[in-house]
Structure formats: C-alpha cells, structure tokens
Structure 1
Amino acid sequence: MNHANKSASTSRKLDGSFGIYIHIPFCKQACHYCDFHFSTSLNKKDELVNALAKELVLRKDEFKNKYVATIYFGGGTPSLLAIEELKFLIDEVYKNYNVSEKPEITIEANPDDLISEPDSLSAAEMLPLTIFKDYKTIGINRLSIGIQSFYEEDLKLMNRAHNSEEAKKCLEEATKHFDNISIDLIYSIPGMSNERWIDNIETALAFDIPHISSYALTVEPKTALATFIKKGIIKNVDDDLAQEQFHILIEKLEGAGFIHYELSNFGKEGYFSRNNSAYWQGIPYLGIGPSAHSFDGKHRGWNVRNNSKYIKSLDKNIVPIETETLSINDRYNEYIMTGLRTIWGVSLEKVAQEFGESYKTYLLAQSEKHIMEHLLYLDDGKLLVTKKGKFLSDGIASDLFKINLS
C-alpha cells in the first residue's frame, strides 16, 4: 500500500508520536456483559463512516507536530465495515496526518466476520477467502480477535455471535496470513471450572498466537448479565475463583514464553500492543467517533455517546466533544494507576520531575505498608507490584492516589 505522499519523513521537525483510535459503534448483537457504546442497527453506517472521516479532517491540527505511530479500529465490531470503508478511513489518516513509515494498524474483529462461508455450502459453492489478504492490502498489520472462549456454553451465556467451531476455524485461517495476532479470552465466567479454563488457554496456545489479552468477567450495571444475576437466572461471578484463574493464566502463559507486560495483557517478545502500551505510558492519543476519548497529556476529551447526535454535529462541521483540564492530582493518579499495571512500573524520578518532590515523598509513605505486605517492591528507582499483588493492583493504586479533599 503506497502512502508515500504523506509520511513522518517530512522535513518539518516532529516532537514525538501519538496514536489514533477510531471507534466503530456497530455490532451484530449485544453481548450480555458489554457496556461499550454500540448499535445493532447498521442503518446509519454509511453516514457514520463519512462523519468519522470528517472528524479526522477537522482535528488534523491537534497533533500537527507529532507523527502517528498507531491506528486502532475498536468498537463495537470494526470487522463489520467493508474493506472499502476501512481503506477510506486509513487513506484519510494518511492524507491529513504525518504517519510513521511502519505504523501499527490494528483491527478488532469477531471470528464470524473473518471466516469464509458457512460449512453448509459445498466446496464448489464457497467463494475464496479473501478478507485476510484484503486487510493486508489496505495496510492492516495486526488482528485483535474476540474469541472469549472455545466452549459453546460460555459463548451462549455471553450471547456471542460466533460458536466454538467458528473460533477455531477463524484462527486456523488467520494464522496463515498474519503473524501479529492477539486474541481476547475471558475467565471467571459462571460455571467455568479451572479445568475448562486451562483447556481454553491450551487451545489458544496450540495456535501459536503471540499475544493474548485476558479479562475477568465483570458485571457492569445496566447490562443483561447484571439483570440475569439479579433475577437468579445466572450465578454471580465468584471473586475467589477469578483470582485462582488469574494465577493459572499467568503460570500457563509465562510457562509458554509470554511476558506479562500489563495486568490483562501477555505478549511474546516483539509482539506487545504498541497502541495500548502507548496509553499506559501516557503517550497522547486522538479518539475519533462517538464515545471515543482523547488525551494530549494535560487535557482529556470525550465525544458524544450517540450515533445520531454525532452524525448531525459533524454535518455542521462541529466535533461533538467535551473536554476537561486534568489537575496535577488527576495526572499523578492516572500515572500511578497505569504504571502499577505494567512491567514498567512507577518511576520515582518521573514522579518528582513531573509532579514535585512532595508527591514522591507522599508516594513512598503510602507505599510502605504495601511493601511490608509484599504487594509492592522497589527496584532501580521504580515501584512495581509483586506477583502476589498483581490481582490487587487497582486497589493498591487507589490507596496511593492523591485526593483533594477540599
């Protein structure tokens, strides 16, 4: 794919990178646990894609002195977009921004969108599988596939659009065309035994996937899952089991050569998500689309969480965004939260430089009891969580926050 007309090799001096996140707010059906912004109606898809392109144009000067290192299609289900629509949006990025020579371009996808035709068709009736080749042709070089589980009962409980066989078939096909593949797996699903969880992990490892993102099933308010649990239709999530399965996950994946580089993310050497790693290290990003968030280091913005309002606003050349200026406490707290989730930890020197010596003193004082309890440790000027503390890292981080009680 030739984008030589617009690249980061421009003669103008650039002072760092940023990422672009493009939110595709459409899904075939609603997963029972999901509280992200999406619509199951595709009626406004064409208008929405045009609005996304317009927002890219209207916001092109926000990071004009930086280059785009990553482009990430998230959702929702970006794999519902046609190849032509994805290419249109990627082209708009190249037309309006300075893009690095080899950006990481990721698309989140569901297995049922990636496999070829249904098994009910005969070989003669089946069309050739081209989607993986098409993705590569338009510049996509990383797949993030929402497997969640290889067990039928788990997929039905979560109301996923694919089945177990489709999940396996998808990975068989994907690994023929892409080496940079991540999959999502969910643990602590009601009814999931440790044996079933181990089998899920081993099934994933058999496909030689270099990156796995794995999350405990979370019961979000106002989701179908929360309603089913409240009515007693489904058992509640067992926190003790979740912790057990989290430690099983770490043991299995580290034993297979994965690096546990972020609380929910495991990658082989050279296969960490560049997009997500940038988030966790405080690198700016531009969020495009309804409900998308943006961050420039000192300000956070979020777009309206409504497809119709988003489209109507962009029709008037207005980006429907609200912004806030982050206080020094906000920025410190965010650094603590993200830093403790990663192998890079929290740098005491960075805390002192960016927030002041008083914040470093406060951090060390607040950390003392967690160090004594072997939940945190200091190494080469960095504060990190121990293996024992990993599952509790968000709670530990909140205890280190600086709260403005006034």
Structure 2
Amino acid sequence: MAGIYLHIPFCKQACHYCDFHFSTSPKYKDEMVKALVKEIHLQRCYLDNESIETIYFGGGTPSVLSADEIQLLINTITELHTVSADAEITLEANPDDLDHSKLKALRQTPVNRFSIGIQSFFDEDLAWMNRVHRSSEAEASVKRAQDIGFENITVDLIYGYPLLTDVKWKKNLDTVFALRIPHISAYAMTVEPQTALAAFISKKKQPPMSEEQSAGQFSTMLDAMQSNSFEQYEISNFCTPGHYSRHNSNYWKGVKYLGIGPSAHSFNGETRQWNVANNAKYTKSIMGDAIPSEVEVLTEENRLNEYIMTALRTKWGIDLEQLDAIAGGSANILLKAARIYFDDGSLTQSGNLLTLTPHGKLYADRIASELFF
C-alpha cells in the first residue's frame, strides 16, 4: 500500500505564521493543474505498482480548485494506479470555500474526507493570524458539510499564541466537541523564519510565544480530549474510535508515498526526493518532461533517525524489532541512550515498544533528537 500527496500551491492570502510554499495569485492555476496531471504521468513508476490507499490534497489551499479540477486529478491517478475501493481521499479546505454549491459539487467526486482549517473560533484571533474566514463561517462550513453527507471531517486548531487566553482555548475545544467532529489536529503556534510573524516579533511589534503558555494549554487539551473520548494517537492528533487519519498515519509508520506538485516530497523506503518550491520553475520543467526534484539516498543512520522521530510521536511508539530490521544491534544502543528518559518518567517500555508518557509528550522532539544515532 502507498499514498499520494498533491500540493496545491495557492491561497487567497498569506497567514502570518505560515511558511508553506504557496502563491496568493491564482493567475496560473490552469497551467498548474495541467502540470500536476503531467507529473502524475511522469511519476507513475515511482511507487513500483503498489496499491494506493490514500490520496491527500494539501497546500496551500486545495479548496480553491473547482470540483472538476479535483475530479480530473483523481481520474488521472486512478488511470495510472490501482486505487483501493475504500481509499481515504482527503481535501484540505478553508471554511470560506465550503459554501453549499461547492459542497454539492464535491459530493459528486470521490473526496470522502475534509480537513478544515479553522484555527480559532474568535474573530480577533483569526484577524491576528491574517486568516480569510471568520468564526461564523467556520461553524457554518462544518454543519453544511455534515448536512450534505460528509461525516469524516477533521479540523485544525492552534494554541499557544498571545491572544489565546486559557478561557478562549477551552471555548475553542468545547465548540469543536459540540460539532461532533471525529478528528482534531491541534498545533502549538511556532515562529518560522521568513514569516510575517517572525518579522513582527523581531521588530517588537508582537511578543514572542510563551513555552509555558503552550505547555499549559497542551495539558488542558489532553484533559479535555480524554473527557470527550478522543484518543491521542499522535502528539498533535486526536480522534474518536476508528477515525485515525490513514494518510498521516502512514507517514509516521514509514509507508511509501508520492508527492506531486511544487515543494512536494516523496519517499519510497530507500530514497527521499522533493520538488522545487517555485511555481514557474516547476511548471516549466514538468511541461518539458523533466521532474524538477532533488534526491537523497537514505543511509542506515538516516532511516533510523527518521523512524525514531516519527514513531516516537505516535501511540504505537518505537518498535525495537523494527529498529534492528533497519540496522542490527541498534535496539540495544537506543535502550542505553534512553535510560535517562526511563528514569525521569518521560519514556516507558512494554515488550518491544517504547512510548512517551504524558510528561514526555511535552518534550517529544527534544527527546527524539537526543536518541538519534
């Protein structure tokens, strides 16, 4: 099994915190769609005929595409690959794009899951982030999607930024629970270089993010999720029983995937490659029958460290047998390095599995990096 990710590099406007690759001009959208179709053809052998279990439209804002354009891209994939009958096909969307007519058109496509970028239900917070939509649109878009028949929905929320009081954070969580959404992704606000937010902070127009605030709101979220029967199956991802994101879970489990579009990454178990993060260069190269990508051949060390980083973030944890399958003897080396985290209560072991404790989840990335080979 394998997955396909399509990067749709267009947004109506730039969120102040975002460092993903996108353009706010839709001028060349038609040309980009043609290039995406062409790349699907050019990359048809990358996954070595493995069955496609998941298709994910990310970005950017994939919901700026029409239903016909989305159908065209899915048709191209199904013509060239064997797609599972129960494939999970996800479309990232902004609330302002999901009006009744758009949802009705999307209902006629194979899309069966929405990832809706809500971030907050407070208008002042959305304005601070420079989001296009407002809180009323967020709730309304979810209800419209549910009314028209889309049940498999996830929403994104952000915590740990100056405007978000603990009272507002609890209200955001309660609003999502009330909407009966089966999956929630929640991320601490991070300040990425080259973003508007980073510039505001460096010029002292905005205060820096508070690690203490983020940690406190993370703990509040864990309690709220547990009280509402949501399982934390990855540091930032929560679901009701059986509603894991199959596509993202495959990333964390090391399943092969093909990335289509500018800046998209691909992984086939032995190598990783990524396309140029420039729309014009990408389109020109693809239409000239050349894939504009760089390729990295993964060493044993690369593969071990990638597995540690991704697996440790999940409820399934690090499988010591899988470590030894990558490089014999690596499990014993890791156990020696991990001893300090067993002692301080950050890690626990059950059989061959190493998982983070609730305390350890607060420091997941740091712990993983210190366990690297």
TM-score by length of 2: 0.98
**Aligned match of 1:9:** none
Match of 1:124 in 2: none
* Alpha-carbon separation, structure 2, partners of 1:276 and 1:19: 9
Determine whether 1:269 maps to 2:253. Answer: no
Q: Post-superposition shift, 1:65?
A: 2.7
Q: Tell me the alpha carbon deviations over residues 307-350 of structure 1, each in whole angstroms, 9 at most, x when there is no partner.
A: 00011001111111110101100100010011110011001111
CA distance in 1, matches of 2:161, 2:73: 36
Matched, 1:370 2:341: yes
Aligned to 1:220: 192
Q: Which residue of 2 aligns with 1:395?
A: 366
The equivalent of 1:153 in structure 2 is 124
CA distance in 2, matches of 1:20, 1:152: 35
1:272 alignment partner, SS class:
coil
Contact 1:21 1:286 in 2 (8 A): yes
Write the letter of the residue equivalent to 1:158: M
SS in 2 for 1:186: strand
In the alignment, is the contact (CA less than 8 A) between 2:319 and 2:354 conserved in 1?
Answer: yes
Corresponding residue number in structure 1 for 2:17: 33
- Once the 2 structures are TM-superposed, how far is the Cα of residue 240 of structure 1 from its aligned partner? 0.4
Amino acid at match of 1:114: L
Distance 1:173 1:65 in 2: 38
Partners of 1:136 and 1:171 in 2: CA distance: 14
Whether the aligned pair in 1 keeps the contact of 2:303 and 2:326 (CA below 8 Å) is no
* Pair member with larger Rg: 1
Residue of 270, 292, 296 corresponding to 1:320:
292
Residue 353 (structure 1) shift: 2.1
TM-fit CA distance, 1:380: 2.0
- Is this contact kept in 2: 1:175–1:207, CA < 8 A? no
Runs of 4 or more, structure 1, over 4 Å off, are none
1:294 aligned residue: 266
8 Å CA contact 1:294, 1:302 repeated in 2 = yes
- In the alignment, what sits opposite 1:206? 178
CA–CA separation in structure 1 for the residues paired with 2:8 and 2:49? 27
Residue by residue, what CA displacement relative to the aligned partner does 1:265-322 show, whole Å, maximum 9, x if unpaired?
0011111000000000000000000000000011000001000001100111111111
**Aligned with residue 251 of structure 1, among 207, 223, 228:** 223
Per-residue CA deviation, residues 186-238 of structure 1 (Å, 9 max, x unaligned), is 00121211111000000111100000000000000110001111122211111
User: 1:137 aligns to what SS in structure 2?
Assistant: coil
Q: 2 CA distance for matches of 1:81 and 1:253?
A: 33
1:28-86: CA deviation from partner (whole Å, max 9, x where unpaired): 00000000000001111000000000000111112233100000000000000011111
Deviation string 1:120-162 (CA, Å, 9 cap, x unpaired) is xxxxxxxxx2322322211000000000000011101100000
Contact 1:19–1:69 under 8 Å retained in 2 = yes
3-state SS of 1:130 partner: helix
Q: Deviations over 1:145-189 (max 9, x none)?
A: 000000011101100000111111111212212110000000012
The one-letter code of the counterpart of 1:154 is D
Q: Which residue of 2 aligns with 1:7?
A: none
Where does the alignment leave 5 or more consecutive residues of structure 1 unmatched? 1-16, 116-128
1:285 equivalent in alignment to 2:269: no
The one-letter code matched in structure 1 to 2:180 is D
Aligned amino acid, residue 122 of structure 2: Y
1:114 aligned to 65, 78, 98, which one?
A: 98
Structure 2 Cα separation of the partners of residues 168 and 61 of structure 1? 42
| Amino acid corresponding to residue 275 of structure 2 in structure 1 | N
Any conservation in 2 of the 1:69–1:100 contact (CA below 8 Å)?
yes
1:135 corresponds to 2:106: yes
RMSD: 0.8
| Pair 1:350-2:322 in alignment | yes
1:332-343 counterparts in 2 under 5 A?
332-343=304-315
2:3 and 2:256 in contact (8 A); partners too:
yes
**What secondary structure, in the 3-state scheme, does the structure 1 residue paired with 2:162 have?**
coil
Deviation at 1:259, TM superposition (A): 0.7
- Matched to 2:274, the amino acid is W
Q: Which residue of 2 aligns with 1:49?
A: 33
- Aligned partner of 1:123 in structure 2 is none
| Aligned residue identity for 1:351 | L
Q: What letter corresponds to residue 29 of structure 1 in structure 2?
A: Q
The 8 Å contact of residues 49 and 81 in structure 2, kept in 1 or not, is answered as no
1:78 counterpart residue number: 62
1:59 aligns with 2:11: no
Q: Structure 2 unaligned runs (5+)?
A: none
Q: Does 1:93 align with 2:77?
A: yes
3-state SS of 1:147 partner: strand
Question: Aligned partners of 1:165 and 1:229: how far apart in 2?
Answer: 29
Q: TM-score, normalised by structure 1?
A: 0.91
Output the amino acid matched with 2:296: E
